[in-house]
Structure 1
Amino acid sequence: MTAEAIETHDFPFDPTYGYDLDRLLQVGTPEAPADFGDFWQGAYAKALAVDTAPRVGALEEERDGVRVHAVSYTSVGGFRVGGWLTLPADGHVTHGMVVLHGYGGRDAVDVTLPPPGTAAIWPCARGMATRSLDPEIPATAAEHVVHGIASRETYVHGGCVADTWCAASALLALVPGAARQLALVGGSFGGGIGALALPWDDRFHHGLLTVPSFGNHPLRLTLPCTGSGEAVRAHYTRHPEVTEVLGYFDAAVAATRVRVPVHVGAALFDPAVPPPGQFAVHNALGGPKELFVLTAGHVEYPAAAEEDARLRAAQREFLAEADPR
């Protein structure tokens, strides 16, 4: 499939950004801040020390052999994260998943996503709809993405990464059997946050990242888009010093530290998350990896449903092959 399959669009820019697949596969990685690893290892240690005190709500629904419960847990800074817990109806757990969401949050879960036998936690990142809204954190993507961005210690994305690690802690406290094969799954915003979270947490055995955001910030700052990156670009024009903070939150830089197997779905055409940034994450991965090339991301196109089905099949095959049992 090629991006040319999308013949017309109304965007005032080219959502391929002039990159074909060969050029996308050559996108590099920015230089990391000298203390990049120390910063994130320290952040992970703080998250691991949190008593997540998970609470499971009553059964909300049961379908397709999966039981869906509300769940909440404590993350760094005492923030109480809300979300969902899904469990096999037969009680037989063979896998675990932490499933992140895109910008905009989530109001439901897709019980068909995890393979059979999976216990999964579906957190809403701090400040995001519908179960982690907070009056002090903007919920809209354009405001959330720059919240606290003046400092690496206050940037909301650091809290979102901590929420991911604490989600794993909560899941494993509730369902210890999920530790056998624990996957981190995320798309768009969740793909970028997932790439930032993966290198430091050896509880994760593999990752699935789809159209991941936040890859190669120096390049992203040059590319117009319809997603959260445009708010960062606008902020940068007023506060160019923000690049020092963004260096610590670059998903491609983090990907160089990842050693577990990761499956990446990356798009050739994407007005919201520029493809060069997506491929920067894939290209930088330091461990076994598999690439699924999508025609497009964040838009409707004729082959979307068929490609999504093939992507899911590829992800499940990847998980099966990565399972050492």
Structure 2
Amino acid sequence: MKLFRALAAAAIIAACPAGSLLSAALDLTVTADREDCLYALGDTVSFAVRCSAADAVIEYRLSVDGKAELERGWLELRGGEAVVRGMLDMPGFLRLDLTAVAGADTVRRAWGCAVAPLAIRAAGALPDDFDRFWGQGKAELLRIPLDARIEAVPGDEHESTLYRISLANLEGSRIYCWYRVPKGQGPFPAVLAIPGAGVRREGTRENYAEAGFAVLTIAIHGVGQDHELEYYDQLGRGLLAGYQRFGMDDPYRYYYRRVILGLIRCLDFLSSREEVDQERIAVQGSSQGGGLSLLVASLDKRVKALASNVPALCDHAGSLHGRPAGWPQLLNHAGATEREQVMRTMGYYDAATAASRIEVPALLAAGFIDGVCAPTTVLAAFNNLKGPRWIEMVPGMGHASPKGRAERWPRWLRDALDGKITDTRLIRGER
């Protein structure tokens, strides 16, 4: 493994009146010397640190995407400012974390920069029997009638019609969804909306219906969507606590197997609807939903475009190579006796390696200081995509969404489904 090199130095970069430093509340900022925060291998990255308190004590930590520590120390402010410099000699993300203490106040800040991001590669590989494994699951679904149960929801005040949907899934279970259909003449493009992690009553994604989509929002846990909110809270704290690791030592028992096959069942439903344009079906989601969007797009050719914000389930094997693994960081929770079995399971559920099977237009987003779905893992997926691909790169963003995503991403999916997205782009996103 190549060595990482880092250099930190304090330097005067400007002067501020002492009175303003003493009178202002504690304020800590950090930026990089390039606006896009993109660097080549071996480039020196300079982080500019500014603090409003002249007597602040500031600790810094320089790392590879928040994981492998390169250097730690204390900054000496000169005129309220300092510079931290570092570099990477392998593709990844250089991250600076700061903790400033002044009196009773403590402030933390972080910033990240991408180093040769298009050269990042997934640490794992698809199992040789990937197609056979998922083909078995699809065959199970084919033996189960769709049994779509559709109920109109009265009293909805949006400019679309809302339905409750349930569909038959594996082993006698059912899938529960919301289904919004625009008013007017179809057929409409459709999007399968997949939620982030947790247990909740899902929203109905009105923004996609307003953009002209028939939108099917799945609740992945097989739980009806007509309970009181406390019911979902209790499930999340109790029966479904840690569900993302249930059965992780066996790919046939892993929790997400039923979920992913349930997503394919949702595509069965959309494909059966006369109001849906069968050639314009997309998937979208964030975090858990982003990773699942990649996985289902890799498994089902009915998906013609996808949008995946800060996707989870990417690059599970990253932690074996000194860099972050994507949520839910399965190996971090595996005991010594089950690591081998967990590693086997990971291969069938890695959205970064499965991305190599995706040829349709894809839109991703990465937060450069995301501690849940680290940007290294997102770029590992992005770089495996085989079709037109865009990614919003957001230096100051953690596990969140780029500014304006709710309005812009439905438009992007419409363009993708209409054949207007044909290139590869790295876009500086805003948080």
Shorter-chain TM-score tier: 0.7 to 0.9
Displacement of 1:315 after TM fit?
A: 4.4
Alpha-carbon distance between aligned partners in 1 of 2:207 and 2:140, rounded to the nearest angstrom: 33
Show CA shifts across 1:242-266 (max 9, x none): 1111111111111111122222222
Displacement of 1:82 after TM fit?
A: 0.9
Q: Which residues of 2 match residues 66-85 of structure 1 at below 5 A?
A: 66-85=160-179
Q: Equivalent residue for 1:126? A: 221
Alpha-carbon distance between aligned partners in 2 of 1:89 and 1:198, rounded to the nearest angstrom: 28
Aligned-partner residue type, residue 240 of structure 2 = A
**Normalised TM-score (structure 1):** 0.82
Instruction: Give the paired residue count.
Output: 317
Q: Equivalent residue for 2:248? A: 149
Q: Equivalent residue for 1:209? A: 308
Q: Equivalent residue for 1:244? A: 344
Alpha-carbon distance between aligned partners in 1 of 2:366 and 2:214, rounded to the nearest angstrom: 26
Displacement of 1:160 after TM fit?
A: 1.1
Query: Quick check: 2:186–2:276 contact (8 Å CA) kept in 1?
Result: no
Query: Quick check: 2:176–2:222 contact (8 Å CA) kept in 1?
Result: no
Q: 1:195 pairs with 291, 294, 304, which one?
A: 294
Q: 2:114 pairs with 13, 16, 21, which one?
A: 21
Alpha-carbon distance between aligned partners in 1 of 2:152 and 2:183, rounded to the nearest angstrom: 14
Query: Quick check: 1:148–1:156 contact (8 Å CA) kept in 2?
Result: yes
> Unmatched 5+ residue regions in structure 1?
none
Show CA shifts across 1:204-250 (max 9, x none): 1111111111111110565568x852465122556312111111111
Show CA shifts across 1:267-305 (max 9, x none): 2221111111111111111222222223424258xxx53
Q: 2:399 pairs with 275, 298, 306, which one?
A: 298
Alpha-carbon distance between aligned partners in 1 of 2:226 and 2:394, rounded to the nearest angstrom: 30
> Unmatched 5+ residue regions in structure 2?
1-34, 38-46, 52-58, 67-91, 94-112, 423-431
Alpha-carbon distance between aligned partners in 1 of 2:370 and 2:390, rounded to the nearest angstrom: 20
Q: Equivalent residue for 1:268? A: 368
Q: Equivalent residue for 1:161? A: 260
CA 1:206–1:236: 2 relative to 1, 3 Å: farther
Stretch of structure 1 that moved more, 164-173 or 48-57: 48-57
Aligned-partner residue type, residue 40 of structure 1 = W
Alpha-carbon distance between aligned partners in 1 of 2:413 and 2:151, rounded to the nearest angstrom: 30
Q: Percent identity?
A: 21
Aligned-partner residue type, residue 67 of structure 1 = T
Q: Equivalent residue for 1:108? A: 203
Secondary structure class of the residue paired with 1:272: coil
Indicate the structure (1 or 2) with the bigger Cα radius of gyration: 2
Secondary structure class of the residue paired with 2:138: helix
Decide which structure has greater strand share: 2
Aligned-partner residue type, residue 32 of structure 1 = L
Alpha-carbon distance between aligned partners in 2 of 1:46 and 1:289, rounded to the nearest angstrom: 33
Show CA shifts across 1:36-95 (max 9, x none): 222123323333443221111222454442222211111222211112000112253321
CA 1:224–1:284: 2 relative to 1, 3 Å: closer
Query: Quick check: 1:272–1:298 contact (8 Å CA) kept in 2?
Result: yes
Aligned-partner residue type, residue 126 of structure 2 = A
Q: Equivalent residue for 2:25? A: none
Asked whether 1:139 is paired with 2:240, we answer yes
Asked whether 1:183 is paired with 2:292, we answer no
Secondary structure class of the residue paired with 1:41: helix
Aligned-partner residue type, residue 293 of structure 1 = M
Query: Quick check: 1:81–1:125 contact (8 Å CA) kept in 2?
Result: yes
CA 1:314–1:118: 2 relative to 1, 3 Å: closer
Query: Quick check: 2:180–2:209 contact (8 Å CA) kept in 1?
Result: no
